Amino acid sequence: MFQVPRLLRFSCFLVFNITSLTSTLFILAFLLLDRTSRQALYNHIIIVLLILGFIYELTNILFHLYNDYNGVPLSTSPAFYIFWVFLDYSLYSLQIALFAWASIERHILIFHDQWLSTAKKRLFIHYLPPTIIIVYYLIYYCMVYFATPCDYSFDGFLHGGIYIPCPFDRTFLASWDLLVHQVFPTLVIVVFCVALLVRVIRQKARMHRANRWRESRRMTVQLLSISLIYVLFNLPWVTVIFAYQCGWPASLAIDAILFSKFLCYNVIFCFPYVTCLAMKQFRVKVMELTCYRGRGRQVVPNSTIGNAVHGRTLLENKELSHAQ
């Protein structure tokens, strides 16, 4: 049976978690403190996703690091185990759904911005959908994990596998969770991102205003760049789980499940990296700060200092002669 070595998983999680958390703090500070970026509607869902990833890394990933380093979990109580798997699965599924909505909303922001022209329209079209998604997912997974206690072992989860709650043991609810919370959002991301690219290319000629085209291109590049990590790291997981739910024998699926589960964490880790690279304003700000610090620390050559002192001496002598 395939199993990621504990030391390898600990090392990967430690390095990626530190760098990812650092990147998240920088990009969140920029998005929240910069007025233009904070008010841009297309950045709002990115801010929410960054906050979710930040919570995920400070809880679930740290729990994994503690378990891999010490060989035992932070707590062995059933309540802690349930809370842990709840965080692991609910937050991951939630950010997939929110990015799927972001893929749909980006079409509205680029091609139908008049739908968001008033505060009332923005409330129902921009703010309400992600709010409903968040509330629904949290209530749903609270009911699945906390309202239906199970006696299943957590050993597989502690070693990099998955914990299957009682309602998900090849039941209708498991099919619902797979199709609605995994397959459907992934398909939405793929279809709407490809459609966005096609629409932007086709309508480039119609966007006569240079500013309008630059803004549309910026929003498109940002979305497509982020969508790549969902396709690369989430699609294998969805495919394997779908095949298992359709009858793929567990003896054959277990290795693929463990490997694809390990890949899934890269969605959370890579999200802030790709967001930083896809935001030109952030890159420009970083370059400005870097250049400013470089100029501030620039060393003045001795020859320059000597010339300045010599020139000052000549000027003082000249003023003294005029005074006499």
Q: pLDDT (tens digit, 9 = 90+) per residue, 173-201? A: 888 888 999 999 999 999 999 999 999 88
> Measured on CA atoms in the order 65, 69, 72, 75, is the torsion positive or negative?
negative
Do 119 and 154 fall into the same domain? yes
CA distance 133 to 98: 7
Domain assignment of residue 127, yes or no: yes
Do 49 and 127 fall into the same domain? yes
CA distance 270 to 206: 35
CATH code of 267's domain: 1.20.1070.10
Do 233 and 305 fall into the same domain? no
Do 154 and 295 fall into the same domain? no
Do 182 and 250 fall into the same domain? yes
CB 140 within 8 A of CB 242: no
Do 77 and 211 fall into the same domain? yes
- 194 is written with which tokens? 């490809």
pLDDT for position 184: 96
CA distance 66 to 115: 48
> Measured on CA atoms in the order 69, 75, 78, 83, is the torsion positive or negative?
negative
Do 255 and 296 fall into the same domain? no
pLDDT for position 162: 75
Domain count, the chain: 2
Which DSSP symbol is given to 300?
P
Do 181 and 319 fall into the same domain? no
CA 232 to chain centre: 14
- With a cut of 70, list the residues of the chain below it in pLDDT: 1-2, 149, 151-152, 169-170, 205-211, 292-324
Do 115 and 177 fall into the same domain? yes
Do 283 and 142 fall into the same domain? no
Query: 278, 293, 308: which is the final residue of a domain?
Result: 278
State the residue range of the domain holding 68. Answer: 6-278
CA distance 45 to 150: 35
CB 257 within 8 A of CB 244: yes
Helices (H), the chain: 6-33, 35-39, 41-56, 62-70, 78-111, 119-122, 128-146, 155-158, 172-178, 184-202, 210-245, 250-278, 280-296, 302-323
- 45 is written with which tokens? 């869902």
User: 34 to each of 20, 31, 42, 52, 290, how far by Cα in Å?
Assistant: 21, 6, 14, 20, 18
- The overall longest dimension of the chain from CA atoms, in Å, is 106
Residue whose tokens read 């959370």: 268
Burial of residue 271 (CB within 10 Å: 0-12, 13-18, 19+) is buried
CB 230 within 8 A of CB 186: yes
Do 289 and 227 fall into the same domain? no
